[in-house]
Structure 1
Amino acid sequence: MRHDQTRAGPGGPGASAAPDAVLRIGRLTAGPGRPVVMAVINRSIDSFYTAAPTTEAAVRAAADAHAAGARIVDIGGVRAGRGPRVGVEEEIGRICPVIEAIREEIPDLVISADTYRAPVARAAVAVGADIVNDTWAGADPDLPFVAAEAGAGLVCSHTGGLDPRTDAHRSRYGLLPEDVVDDALDGVLTLAERARSVGVPPERILLDPTPDFGKNTRHSLSVLKHIGAFADHGMPVLLAISRKDFIGESVDADVPEQRLPATLAATAYAVEHGVAVIRAHDAVATVQVVDMIGAILGTAQPRRSVRGLR
């Protein structure tokens, strides 16, 4: 199985991180050993955890995340799961004013547009988005062209063939839960090759194995366990696990509000195993995890070091 053919990377035994698996967007560089935090800002009022109901609230949330150390913000206008229909124009109206305002107020912050629809992505990059975060695995085949034309980054995800905004039900990838890893690798690499073929460079393609989407809890845990395999293909890896259902089921935390400690534990594992971007609701806590793992591994310096020196 391909996910067993990994090599040790900066995260230690079992970690797998190609030295060129680095994200480069403008002045931002992120990769194994020097990951960054992507803060989640939801403009959908029915999001499963937190939402910014107005443009002003979303811009404040972005400023707070930036102050906490997040280098990317991900602006979404449609709940990932089932919910009321949101049309293209409504989605554009939810996210584009936010993107435009953040671009003006915080010019050095990288902005991601969380959308699976090419018309929305085109509008988003036109007002300043740097990344198109397609969480539905190429459901709209025009998205790579939008990213390529704009010089934007593109997230390639894996959902096991689900239609957008549908929930996993008895997903099967083989006889064992770990068989999902090869399926997810094949899926994201196929999408990445298509993106490269239309002009998106590998340093702007993020591979996202997408826990919970098209997966049960054991599938998602298998993907996380083998996350190093995704970083072994010359492209940066994004991991979105913040307060997700598989986190809650793993520790018997029924509601998202109870899932932060387990999320941070999983984040530490992911950082140690070569993830370049951690998508998170809790910017302050997640940045501290990233900084702490970096300090332990020696890939980052302590923010200050005065104990015993004065």
Structure 2
Amino acid sequence: MTDYFRALPQTDAARPEGALVLAGGWCWFTHVEHLRRGAPPEVISARDVPEDVLAAMTATRSKLGRVRMDRPQIMGILNVTPDSFSDGGAHVGPARGLAHARVMVDAGASLIDVGGESTRPGAMEVPPEAEIARTAPVIAAISNVLQVPISIDTRKAVVARAALDEGAFLVNDVSGFTFDPALKTLCVERAVPICVMHAQGDPETMQGDPRYDDVLLDVYDFLAAQVSMLTGLGIPRDQILVDPGIGFGKRIEHNLALLARLSLFHSLGCPILLGASRKGFIGKIGNAPEADQRGPGSVAVALEGFAQGAQVVRVHDVAETRQALQLWQAVTTGEYHGA
């Protein structure tokens, strides 16, 4: 029976002697949750965790490019597609894409994620040449003007290559490097940071009838296998973000199970990216049928991600998330160091 260990993160200003720092960040822990398939969870002392697992939990996460992983980071979403679920068509083209990127950077985004293929439920695959035509000119426009790290959100090697050539520094693959075998080879050749996400099925069919034996552990096992495969190819573990893929082949109960125990993924020894912004479960629970009404709920989920030590949140509402993060940090520590 496989054993899984989840740090129980704390952010209280009163930290007991001997508490361990989670992932070299802002959370600490003294206890962990011991998880096994078919067995009830058990809370145990962190000192009873195997040394290799504890080392993965506590190791300081390295920078991704120039983006620090020892403090919360906000990734701004820049969809340059005509059919994205939240803002389809609003930012298409270099001029509009650059303008929105500037707004997000001014609001507090520390990196921008550019995507040219909608991954909303039911979305059809976009031909690579169309995806390149949407993303590469926008990335070029941003990189020529703004000093902000850019991520390319794609499943395809040819699209990623064009994006990297125009100034992107990170490849974010929603298929977890299962769609295009050439993509992982490209990332090894270019020695770029990557994000590995879990999805059950592809966007066109993923919400049809998603099923899991244990969604938390199933997603963990997938990410663990992909990280092992990628490190075996030569990509350093500390340059791999992991994303549990909220909303990608998951029902509401699946999303909630992942969010409630998000800190499990620190045991992979990688920084965590959480992308839940404006997704359907927020609309259902928060009674917000339209995507642009889901800002407050999205901020609430982002803050819970930070409270579990997630290093990066991927959001539409950058200014609101930044304001909430600043207040959360201030009231958690009881300190304010601004002007």
Q: Aligned-pair distance for 1:195?
A: 1.6
Who wins on radius of gyration, i.e. which is larger?
A: 2
Residue 77 of structure 1 contacts residue 94 of structure 1 at CA under 8 Å; is this kept in 2?
A: yes
1:45-99: CA deviation from partner (whole Å, max 9, x where unpaired): 1111113022111011111111111111000001103345521111011101111
Provide the TM-score with structure 1 as the length reference: 0.88
The equivalent residue for 2:52 is none
Residue 132 of structure 1 contacts residue 153 of structure 1 at CA under 8 Å; is this kept in 2?
A: yes
- One-letter amino acid matched to 1:171: P
Unaligned 5+ runs, structure 2? 10-21, 34-55
Distance 1:100 1:251, change over 3 A: same
SS of the equivalent of 1:232 reads: helix
Residue 272 of structure 1 contacts residue 293 of structure 1 at CA under 8 Å; is this kept in 2?
A: no
Residue 42 of structure 1 contacts residue 75 of structure 1 at CA under 8 Å; is this kept in 2?
A: yes
Identity %: 31
In 2, the alpha carbon distance for the partners of 1:122 and 1:46 equals 23
The equivalent residue for 2:44 is none
The equivalent residue for 2:129 is 89
The equivalent residue for 1:46 is 83
In 1, the alpha carbon distance for the partners of 2:141 and 2:222 equals 35
- One-letter amino acid matched to 1:6: A
The alignment's C-alpha RMSD in Å is 2.2
The equivalent residue for 1:159 is 199
SS of the equivalent of 2:75 reads: strand
Matched, 1:185 2:251: no
- Please point out which of 1, 5, 11 is paired with 2:27: 11
Q: Aligned-pair distance for 1:248?
A: 1.3
1:187-233: CA deviation from partner (whole Å, max 9, x where unpaired): 11211112211222122100000111010011001101111111232
- One-letter amino acid matched to 1:91: E
The equivalent residue for 1:308 is none
Distance 1:252 1:126, change over 3 A: same
Q: Aligned-pair distance for 1:23?
A: 4.9
SS of the equivalent of 2:194 reads: strand
The equivalent residue for 2:180 is 140
The equivalent residue for 1:200 is 235
In 2, the alpha carbon distance for the partners of 1:15 and 1:122 equals 41
Higher relative contact order (CA 8 A, sep 6+): 1
In 1, the alpha carbon distance for the partners of 2:233 and 2:125 equals 31
In 1, the alpha carbon distance for the partners of 2:276 and 2:215 equals 17
Number of residue-to-residue matches in the alignment: 296
In 2, the alpha carbon distance for the partners of 1:186 and 1:241 equals 21
Provide the TM-score with structure 2 as the length reference: 0.81
In 2, the alpha carbon distance for the partners of 1:251 and 1:200 equals 40
